[in-house]
């Protein structure tokens, strides 16, 4: 857009046809001038014609000169408009016209630097909309977009002139309260005003829509001295606020002592420690012997991942193993464990051709590529499929639905043996098991040990063993730590056992000494 105080020529549009016509006039004038000069340069008529042509050229030059300036003005205005548009797209959210995530991070960095230099304070609010997903799913994305626009407007109206609001994406917003004089009471008042304003009823296409908001609060420099730390702590406070219910806000200084926050911090500590463990090669493969209870001899080994670090002792195995399966590099860990199982199975079969290795299949490998990956591994190591026992967690399986059931059946059809672990601690879904061919069921060792302490518990153990036998499958008991337990389980029909009574798990490379 060109400013209004420009000359009227700025409104003229110079088309390609006009430029071509002016060029033709100029060419014709040159030709006339040359012809007249050749015919009779000294004649009066020639001089008169030459004068006319010079006047024409002068007029054309004037026309071209005026239009050229006009074109330059138009180009300059277009470049300016497009530059402004690109800036808006790069820095502002297209839906709400608020600063976007990238621009907000820049503003935060500037705010931190200024507050550090001037020894002042400011407050950061993290918000999201409680109930937004249901509106978006039930009434459609177009209503969801309108709701976001209206909620953003209400958020802005709840704040003061110098406060800054941005949209991070989805239904997530942030606000910077820039007044260094804000105390806790003022911030609490602003949070309550935001919650009340956003929670007012909305109307879209004849529908009444109700949402609310939760807010996490962090303050500079009390809760962090860098932008990333402040953002992380405000997000953690929001997590605690949401767990308290709708229309809640929490300051980070209060949230960090809550049970929800402590649980989240524990999970964060485990994830961070696991990341370090990978870099230091602290995760190693271990194996525990499986015993044929009737013959009292080693017939197989159950592979697992161990964390070789004293820090691991502060976490239960189930805690960190669950985080391991959810880590970004969990599929790599699964591939490494598969390769380890095949390598050592080939080695141990030299001593016992019927030896079986049980491999826990990590959840990230539960996809269509698993069978191909297994086929390639057993072919590469030249080992029988039915001596690679694939163990799946019953806890995870029953959360996955029909797709994983089809995967299990395909693996059985391909010749692999399957084990379902966590029996006892997890309910057996008979509808899920129906149609599957499972060769082994494994008791959860913690559950089993507890049941073995009472007569009623032992009755449940016997009942499960009998049910498994009726399915033409074998029962494995882990965590056995006494001869009495081993004898009782054998008498009830349990086929295999493992536990400290025979051997703790040992590093895989040392296991060969037990077989020999």
What CATH number does the domain containing 188 carry? 3.30.70.270
Residue finishing a domain among 71, 91, 111: 91
pLDDT at 42: 44
Cβ proximity of 115 and 124 under 8 Å: no
Residues 50 and 120 in one domain: no
Residues paired with 125 in a beta bridge:
175, 217
499 phi-psi bin (left φ>0, alpha ψ -120 to 50, beta other): left
How confident is the model over 169-194, as pLDDT tens digits? 999 999 999 988 889 999 999 999 99
Q: How far apart are CA 155 and CA 175, in angstroms?
A: 9
pTM over 0.75: no
Residue 423 belongs to what domain range? 274-515
Confidence of residue 6 (pLDDT cuts 50, 70, 90): very low
Query: How do 207-209 and 164-169 pair as beta strands?
Result: unpaired
| pLDDT for res 1 | 38
Q: What is the CA radius of gyration of the chain?
A: 38
| Burial group, residue 41, by CB count within 10 angstroms (0-12, 13-18, 19+) | exposed
Same domain, 81 and 176: no
* Residue 66 shares a structural domain with residue 110: no
* CB count in 10 Å sphere of residue 1: 8
The pLDDT-based confidence of 283 (bands split at 50, 70, 90) is confident
Return the exposure string of 230-246: e unless at least 16 CB atoms fall within 10 Å of the residue's CB, then b.
bbbbbbbbbbbbbbeee
The residue-averaged pLDDT of 496-515 equals 88
Do 404 and 508 reside in the same domain of the chain? yes
Average confidence score pLDDT of the chain: 80
Does position 234 have pLDDT exceeding 70, yes or no? Answer: yes
Q: Has residue 462 been placed in a domain? A: yes
| Vertex 309: Cα angle to 303 and 310 (nearest 5) | 120
Which of residues 430 and 8 earns the better pLDDT score?
430
**C-alpha to C-alpha distance for 394 and 322, rounded to whole angstroms:** 14
**360 vs 195, residue with greater confidence:** 195
120 vs 324: which has the higher pLDDT: 120
Is a pLDDT exceeding 90 seen at residue 159?
yes
Which of the listed residues 59, 91, 123 is the one where a domain comes to its end?
Answer: 91
Asked which of 210, 228, 257 is the last residue of a domain, the reply is 257
Pairing relationship of beta strands 474-477 and 440-443 according to DSSP bridges: parallel
Helix ranges (DSSP H) in 452-505: 455-470, 483-491
2 has a pLDDT exceeding 80:
no
Please check whether residue 1 lies inside any domain of the structure.
Answer: no
Q: Rounded mean pLDDT of 225-233?
A: 91
- DSSP state for residue 359 in the 8-state scheme: E
Place of tokens 């110098």: 162
The confidence score (pLDDT) of residue 264 equals 61
Res 507 pLDDT > 90: no
Residue 8 has pLDDT above 50, yes or no: no
| CATH number, domain with residue 412 | 3.20.20.450
- Domains of the chain: total: 3
What number is the average pLDDT over the span 107-116?
A: 93
How confident is residue 337, by pLDDT bands cut at 50, 70 and 90? confident
111 pLDDT higher than 80: yes
Residue with the bigger pLDDT between 93 and 318: it is: 93
Residue matched to tokens 């303050």: 219
In this prediction, residues 343-354 reach a mean pLDDT of 90
Distance (Å, rounded) from C-alpha 151 to C-alpha 87? Answer: 24
The β-bridge partners of 357 are 301, 388
| Short-list 360, 366, 362, 410, CA closest to 389 | 360
> With contact defined as beta carbons under 8 Å apart, do 108 and 230 qualify?
yes
Please give the residue that has the higher pLDDT: either 267 or 390.
390
Torsion sign across C-alpha atoms 305, 309, 310, 314: negative
More confident residue, 48 or 497: 497
User: Which residue do the tokens 């949401």 mark?
Assistant: 242
Mean predicted confidence (pLDDT) in 135-157: 92
The rounded distance, in Å, linking the Cα atoms of 241 and 215 is 7
Mean pLDDT of 15-44: 51
Section 108-125 average pLDDT? 94
428-478 pLDDT, tens digit each: 777 777 888 899 999 999 899 999 999 999 999 999 999 999 989 999 999
């Amino acid at each position: 857009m060109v400013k209004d105080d420009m000359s009227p020529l700025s409104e003229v549009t110079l088309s390609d046809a006009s430029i071509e016509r002016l060029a033709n006039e100029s060419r014709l004038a040159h030709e006339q001038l040359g012809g007249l000069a050749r015919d009779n340069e000294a004649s009066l008529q020639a001089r008169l014609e030459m004068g006319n042509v010079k006047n024409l050229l002068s007029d054309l030059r004037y026309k071209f000169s005026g239009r050229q300036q006009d074109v330059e003005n138009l180009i300059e205005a277009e470049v300016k408009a497009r530059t402004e548009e690109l800036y808006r797209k790069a820095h502002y959210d297209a839906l709400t016209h608020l600063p976007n995530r990238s621009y907000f991070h820049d503003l935060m960095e500037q705010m931190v630097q200024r507050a550090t230099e001037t020894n002042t304070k400011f407050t950061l609010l993290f918000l999201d909309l409680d109930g937004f997903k249901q509106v978006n799913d039930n009434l459609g994305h177009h209503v969801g977009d309108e709701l976001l626009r209206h909620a953003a407007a209400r958020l802005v109206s709840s704040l003061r002139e110098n406060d800054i609001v941005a949209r991070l994406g989805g239904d997530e917003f942030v606000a910077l309260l820039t007044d260094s004089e804000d105390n806790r009471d003022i911030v609490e008042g602003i949070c309550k005003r935001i919650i009340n304003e956003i929670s007012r009823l909305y109307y879209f296409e004849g529908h009444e829509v109700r949402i609310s908001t939760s807010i996490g609060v962090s303050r500079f420099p009390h809760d962090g001295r860098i932008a990333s730390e402040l953002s992380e702590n405000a997000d953690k406070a929001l997590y605690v606020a949401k767990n308290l219910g709708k229309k809640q806000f929490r300051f980070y200084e209060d949230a960090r002592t809550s049970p929800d926050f402590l649980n989240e911090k524990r999970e964060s500590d485990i994830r961070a420690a696991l990341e370090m463990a990978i870099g230091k090669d602290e995760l190693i493969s271990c194996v525990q012997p499986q015993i044929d209870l009737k013959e009292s001899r080693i017939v197989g080994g159950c592979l697992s991942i161990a964390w070789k670090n004293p820090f691991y002792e502060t976490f239960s195995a189930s805690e960190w193993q669950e985080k391991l399966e959810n880590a970004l590099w969990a599929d790599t860990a699964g591939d490494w464990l598969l390769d380890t199982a095949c390598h050592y199975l080939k080695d141990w079969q030299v001593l016992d051709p019927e030896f079986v290795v049980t491999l826990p299949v990590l959840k990230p490998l539960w996809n269509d590529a698993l069978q191909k990956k297994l086929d390639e591994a057993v072919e590469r190591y030249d080992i029988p499929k039915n001596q690679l026992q694939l163990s799946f967690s019953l806890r995870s399986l029953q959360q996955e639905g029909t797709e994983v059931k089809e995967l299990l059946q395909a693996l059985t059809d391909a010749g692999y043996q399957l084990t379902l672990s966590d029996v006892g601690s997890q309910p057996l879904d008979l509808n899920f098991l129906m149609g599957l061919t499972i060769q082994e069921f494994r008791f959860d060792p913690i559950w089993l040990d507890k049941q073995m302490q009472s007569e009623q518990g032992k009755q449940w153990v016997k009942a499960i063993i009998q049910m498994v036998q009726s399915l033409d499958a074998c029962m494995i008991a882990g965590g056995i730590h006494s001869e009495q337990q081993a004898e009782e389980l054998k008498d009830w029909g349990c086929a295999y056992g493992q536990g400290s009574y025979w051997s703790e798990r040992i590093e895989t490379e040392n296991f060969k000494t037990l077989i020999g």
